[in-house]
Amino acid sequence: MEMLMVELNRNAAEPLYEQLYTGIRNAILQRKIAVGDKLPSKRKLADYLSISRTTVEQAYDQLLAEGYIEALPRQGFYAKSVEELAVEYQRNQVPVMPAVPDRLADFSPGKVDTNSFPFSLWRKLMREVLDDSNTSLLESGHPQGDWEFRNEIAAYLYQSRGVNCTPEQIVIGSGTEQLLPLLIRLLAPSSIFAFEDPGYPLTHTVFAHYDRSAVPIPVDGEGLLVQKLHESAANITYVTPSHQFPTGAVMSAARRTQLLKWAAGHPDRFIIEDDYDSEFRYIGRPVPSLQSMDRNGRVIYLSTFSKSLMPSLRIAYMVLPLPLLEAYRETFLLYSSTVPRTDQQLVTLFMKKGHFQRHLNRIRTIYRHKRELLTASLTAFSPYVSVSGDQAGMHIVLTVKNGFTEQELVSRARSKGIHITGLETFRVAGQPIGNPQILIGFGGLAEEEIVCQIEKLMASWSIKKKTAHC
């Protein structure tokens, strides 16, 4: 093959060598250049196409690197045989994600108040962490997380939640969804997991992904129905006792005692306590953690900085009972921590200097004001709506009594650009009882817009009050 015609566009943005490479590659794939055919020499092809030898050399080098051609000493370049040819996979077109409609109001329960975050202080502390002398950042660190960070967390948990633990028992991870699979692998493969119904959807999804048997257990106004747990074959149960998600129920003292007695009844039983937003309680005294009441090492404590700082930080932690800690070290001690040391040291500094507690006090006041404003604005629409689950956390549950189904309420609101979620979204086995219930998150709402947004939501449901502000 003395000549090879490849169409080149000298005015195109794509370099000439890439055009030449593409042309020859396609000719080989389409069998226009047969297997074993000799390609023109670099000099002859450069002269024929009126391009530089460097351009041809770059194209040939790329074809060689990808296995489309081979170079034989003193003979030249040849198209490779089919058996050795790099397979050209057809690239499927990436489906276009549907556009998310503009939201005039967003009552998502996972939102936080972004305006209250101390960015200037965060930047200052980051500069301290990134000091030239802090060479520890360049090392991988302990697989459970930096000791100093775990020590700060242990002190904070004891003071705020009564959790009894040492830094050795704490494992840092990049979110609950990363820590739960570790727990699943620590517990016996024959374990059967129980989860709240309705409940946090991540839990049963993770159990299913790891082929673990899981059963839903109903909840009521006092939390998980422990009697139903006894009736199941489960030996591990996942609960959110301080502020049940999504109902907002706080597990009663009697129910907590029943649950701890259930766990103590067999050595293979454990409770996974997810204390995801316990920092925010607005009515009465703080509810102690289950772990603080546990005398038998049966409670695995989980929490996160997602609500107290920011969801994007991706830092969560778990406190392992001593028997599981030994199993963890045997299984995962060679693993590296999934949380960057820069983030660990930054939050450590934030806690050690007292900024974390001050930040919590400030945003707790902000969320309390929002909650009060939200519940007060909803009283004007009584008796069509009533509020529950408002003792703690960053969302309430709204029971609606105007004749619409949950699906109709959600659809009507979203047609007006208002994002809400119905409680039935989080139910697995149970049947809806009574009037529809809607989750109303207030963390991401500005105080000045709460009243108007509630009025717009009520208007989408055809619920009116005598005097409107918007």
* Peptide linkage before 246 cis (omega within 30 of 0): yes
- C-beta of residue 149 within 8 angstroms of C-beta of residue 344: yes
Q: What is the pLDDT of residue 335?
A: 87
Angle made by CA atoms 256, 260, 266, in degrees to the nearest 5:
155
Band of residue 297 on the pLDDT scale cut at 50, 70, 90: very high
**What pairing do the DSSP bridges indicate for beta strands 418-419 and 105-106?**
parallel
C-alpha to C-alpha distance for 357 and 353, rounded to whole angstroms? 9
Band of residue 85 on the pLDDT scale cut at 50, 70, 90: very low
Q: What is the pLDDT of residue 256?
A: 96
Q: Is the predicted pLDDT of residue 375 greater than 60, yes or no?
A: yes
Q: Is residue 96 part of a domain?
A: no
In this predicted model, what pLDDT tens digit does every residue of 34-81 receive, in sequence order? 888 999 999 999 898 899 999 999 999 999 988 889 999 889 999 986
- The verdict on 413 and 350 lying in the same domain is no
Greatest Cα pair distance, the chain, in angstroms, is: 94
- The verdict on 130 and 254 lying in the same domain is yes
Taking the chain, what is the end-to-end CA distance rounded to the nearest angstrom?
A: 79
CB-CB neighbours of 209 under 10 Å: 12
Q: Is residue 261 part of a domain?
A: yes
Tokens linked to 145:
């997380």
Query: Which of 70-84, 139-153, 205-219, 385-399 is least confident?
Result: 70-84
Q: What is the pLDDT of residue 19?
A: 92
- The verdict on 209 and 349 lying in the same domain is yes
Residue 286: which region, alpha, beta or left (left: phi > 0; alpha: psi -120 to 50)? beta
Look up the CATH number of the domain holding residue 387: 3.90.1150.10
Give the domain-ending residue among 354, 377, 401. 354
Across residues 286-305, what is the average pLDDT?
93
pTM for the model stands at: 0.79
C-alpha to C-alpha distance for 102 and 124, rounded to whole angstroms? 35
- The verdict on 80 and 214 lying in the same domain is no
Give the domain-ending residue among 338, 354, 370. 354
Across residues 121-142, what is the average pLDDT?
92
In this predicted model, what pLDDT tens digit does every residue of 429-443 receive, in sequence order? 866 678 999 999 999
- C-beta of residue 4 within 8 angstroms of C-beta of residue 45: yes
C-alpha to C-alpha distance for 445 and 420, rounded to whole angstroms? 13
Band of residue 278 on the pLDDT scale cut at 50, 70, 90: confident
- The verdict on 182 and 201 lying in the same domain is yes
Residues in Cβ contact with 389 at an 8 Å cutoff, skipping those fewer than 6 apart? 243, 244, 247, 248, 249, 395, 396, 397
Q: Is residue 194 part of a domain?
A: yes
- The verdict on 311 and 373 lying in the same domain is no
- The verdict on 257 and 192 lying in the same domain is yes
DSSP code per residue over 187-213 = S-TT-EEEEEES--HHHHHHHHHTT-E
* Peptide linkage before 286 cis (omega within 30 of 0): no
CB-CB neighbours of 69 under 10 Å: 23
Q: What is the pLDDT of residue 94?
A: 59
Look up the CATH number of the domain holding residue 62: 1.10.10.10
Q: Is residue 10 part of a domain?
A: no
Q: Is the predicted pLDDT of residue 177 greater than 60, yes or no?
A: yes
Q: What is the pLDDT of residue 432?
A: 67
- The verdict on 217 and 179 lying in the same domain is yes
In this predicted model, what pLDDT tens digit does every residue of 203-232 receive, in sequence order? 888 888 888 999 999 999 999 999 999 999
Could you tell me the residue range of the domain that residue 204 belongs to? 119-354
Q: What is the pLDDT of residue 2?
A: 66
C-alpha to C-alpha distance for 329 and 397, rounded to whole angstroms? 41
Share of the chain above pLDDT 70, in %: 93
Q: What is the pLDDT of residue 285?
A: 72
Angle made by CA atoms 287, 288, 294, in degrees to the nearest 5:
145
When divided into structural domains, the chain yields a total of 3
Tokens linked to 235:
């030996």
Across residues 289-294, what is the average pLDDT?
95
Residue 131's alpha-carbon distances to 119, 152, 251, in angstroms, are: 19, 21, 46
**Distance of alpha carbon 423 from its chain centroid, rounded?**
20
